[in-house]
């Protein structure tokens, strides 16, 4: 037993402390692959009391803690890179306190997103926040990063479904925030402060989440678009006629990456540089077909297909959802930016020209939740280029991209969060004054800077 493990054993069963090399490697990293994992231990608490004791121990002994769920993050927020103790919530997966009248349920931080979705369906209800990592990502991480995903255009962000939170602050206090109330104007809403705080204010132990009514049967459409600038016109044409559950887009290069794995087939025979994927309630099918015809007449769409069964709908979704996994071997450099949607056409045109000029030899894969103004721009690493060289290229271009983004008053992290990867770009979106207040808040909740140090706030931080 290492010295550290012995100290941790004061507050947690030694059987739930790991220091073997495999565990340190596995729990020290997330879906980014830029950072060499360097955790010093991994602990698996099972109760609120154990989490609180861990934080109090960490505070007394100045240990840094990294909260850990499914480690599907894309900004390095759950990476342990400097000898931190990883606090994994994977042994806290209880779903309880279902309230059919209020339509809420309590989830421990380690509950997997898909488990909650299935639980809701079994009650005749629906948990609407959804994204490709649903099978691994956990509720605690979803809240800490205010996860978005593919249904935001209809159902909002994860924040909108959090009715209550139990957290342990960096000072070791347990806070029970909001406790499921719909209306509660009793001072600053700390719940909203914790949503998106990326583990830097406190550890999320459990959450009371709202559930939606069961959705109506849905249809999925994939449409072929000859040009990127038409995608937003297509969005507006549909949105004017019907309520959309989702409106995604992806480039032919993205589709190629998915098709290359052989799991799904091309959806529309007409090959165009871009595609839109739409989902809507089945009752809106006539309106959707009318919108499609109007877009074809306008020259914005060249072809399209609509799902005839749930199986086909699922296959169409895979064309969009499998993109991230398909390009993982190319260690893509991910941009996850957003602008106000009325500024998106000009922003996209400027960005497209910039990337074509600056990355003439790299594959650039575009996709994203364009109905929310959110674009994922992935630059793929040439297979013969090492990661550091590639990252150097990308960071140089990144500063050009962010110059454009700042002019459009956009967000340098629409949904992935800041973590380690985007930390030094925070000033693109947040002013120096704002960052000063972010630091001040962190100091209030985590006075010794023991929680996820180095994440979210730029390096000038003294903690």
Of residues 167 through 206, those in contact with its own copies by CB under 8 A are 169, 173-177, 179-190, 192-193, 195-198, 201
* Residues sharing a CB contact under 8 Å with residue 415, sequence separation 6 or more, in sequence order: 145, 146, 147, 148, 149, 152, 157, 336, 338, 369, 374
Among 9, 102, 259, 406, binds its own copies (CB under 8 A): 102
For its own copies, which stretch binds (CB under 8 A), given 38-46, 121-129, 249-257, 335-343?
A: 335-343
The CA distance from 418 to 412, in Å, is: 8
Distance of alpha carbon 410 from alpha carbon 104, whole angstroms = 34
Interaction with its own copies in 406-435: which residues (CB under 8 A)? 409-418, 422, 426, 429-431, 433-435
Q: Is 133 in the site for its own copies (CB under 8 A)?
A: no
DSSP E strands, 195-273:
202-210, 212-213, 218-225, 244-251
* Shortest distance in whole angstroms from residue 417 CB to its own copies: 5
Total residue length of the chain: 463
Q: Which x/- pattern, by CB under 8 A, does the window 243-282 give for its own copies?
A: ----------------------------------------
- Our CB check for its own copies shows the closer of 83 and 427 to be 427
Q: Does 304 bind its own copies (CB under 8 A)?
A: no
Q: From residue 210 to residue 239, what is the string marking binding to its own copies with x (rule CB under 8 A)?
A: --------------------------x---
Kindly tell me which residue out of 67, 140, 141, 148 binds its own copies, with binding defined by CB under 8 A. 148
Q: Which residues 6+ apart lie within 8 Å of 185 measured at CB?
A: none
Residue 23 burial by Cβ neighbours in a 10 Å radius (0-12, 13-18, 19+):
middle
Which positions ≥6 away from 373 have C-beta within 8 Å? 338, 339, 340, 341, 343, 344, 410, 414
- Which one among 308, 311, 342, 462 touches its own copies, defined by CB under 8 A? 342
Tell the smallest beta-carbon distance from residue 196 to its own copies (Å).
Answer: 5
Binding flag, residue 462, its own copies (CB under 8 A): no
Q: Which is nearer to its own copies, 173 or 395 (CB)?
A: 173
166 forms part of the interface with its own copies (CB under 8 A):
no
Choose among 249, 241, 259: nearest CA to 295: 241
Minimum distance from residue 150 beta carbon to its own copies (Å): 12
Q: How many CB atoms lie within 10 A of CB 25?
A: 13
* Alpha-helical regions (H) of 273-377: 285-297, 310-321, 323-327, 344-358
Q: Which two tokens stand for residue 169?
A: 């602050």
Contact between 64 and its own copies by CB under 8 A: the answer reads no
Which position among 305, 341, 406, 463 is part of the footprint of its own copies (CB under 8 A)?
341
List the interface residues with its own copies, window 367-386 (CB under 8 A): 369, 372-374
For 126, counting Cβ atoms within 10 Å of its Cβ (0-12 exposed, 13-18 middle, 19+ buried), the class is middle
One of 203, 225, 278, 339 touching its own copies (CB under 8 A): 339
Q: 204, 165 in Cβ contact below 8 A? A: yes
């Amino acid at each position: 037993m290492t010295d550290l493990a012995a100290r941790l054993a004061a507050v947690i069963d030694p059987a739930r402390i790991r220091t073997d090399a495999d565990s340190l490697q596995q729990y020290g990293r997330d879906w980014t692959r830029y950072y060499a994992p360097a955790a010093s231990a991994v602990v698996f608490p099972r109760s609120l009391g154990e989490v609180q004791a861990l934080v109090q121990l960490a505070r007394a002994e100045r240990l840094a803690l990294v909260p850990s769920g499914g480690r599907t993050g894309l900004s390095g927020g759950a990476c342990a890179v400097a000898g931190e103790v990883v606090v994994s919530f994977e042994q806290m997966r209880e779903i309880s306190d279902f309230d059919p009248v209020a339509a809420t349920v309590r989830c421990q931080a380690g509950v997997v997103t898909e488990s909650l979705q299935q639980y809701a369906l079994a009650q005749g209800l629906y948990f609407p926040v959804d994204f490709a990592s649903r099978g691994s990502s956990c509720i605690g991480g979803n809240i800490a990063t205010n996860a978005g995903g593919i249904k935001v255009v209809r159902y909002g962000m994860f924040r909108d479904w959090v009715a209550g939170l139990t957290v342990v602050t960096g000072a070791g206090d347990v806070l029970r925030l909001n406790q499921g109330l719909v209306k509660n104007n009793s001072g600053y809403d700390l719940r909203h402060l914790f949503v998106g705080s990326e583990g830097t204010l406190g550890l999320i132990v459990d959450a009371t989440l709202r559930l939606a009514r069961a959705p109506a049967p849905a249809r999925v459409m994939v449409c072929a678009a000859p040009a990127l600038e038409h995608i937003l016109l297509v969005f507006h044409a549909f949105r004017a006629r019907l309520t959309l559950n989702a409106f995604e887009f992806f480039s032919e290069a993205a589709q190629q990456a998915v098709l290359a794995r052989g799991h799904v087939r091309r959806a529309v025979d007409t090959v165009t540089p871009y595609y839109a994927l739409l989902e809507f309630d089945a009752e809106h099918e006539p309106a959707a077909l009318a919108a499609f015809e109007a877009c074809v007449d306008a020259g914005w769409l060249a072809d399209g297909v609509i799902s005839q069964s749930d199986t086909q709908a699922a296959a169409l979704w895979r064309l969009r959802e499998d993109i991230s996994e398909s390009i993982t071997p190319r260690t893509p450099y991910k941009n996850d930016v957003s602008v106000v949607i009325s500024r998106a056409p000009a922003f996209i045109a400027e960005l497209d020209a910039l990337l074509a000029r600056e990355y003439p030899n790299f594959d650039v894969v575009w996709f994203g939740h364009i109905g929310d103004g959110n674009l994922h721009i992935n630059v793929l690493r040439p297979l013969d280029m090492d990661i550091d060289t590639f990252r150097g290229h990308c960071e140089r271009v990144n500063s050009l991209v962010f110059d454009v983004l700042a002019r459009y008053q956009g967000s340098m992290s629409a949904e992935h969060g800041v973590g380690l990867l985007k930390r030094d770009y925070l000033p693109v979106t947040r002013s120096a004054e704002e960052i000063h207040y972010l630091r001040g808040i962190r100091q209030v909740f985590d006075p010794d800077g023991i929680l996820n140090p180095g994440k979210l706030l730029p390096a000038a931080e003294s903690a």
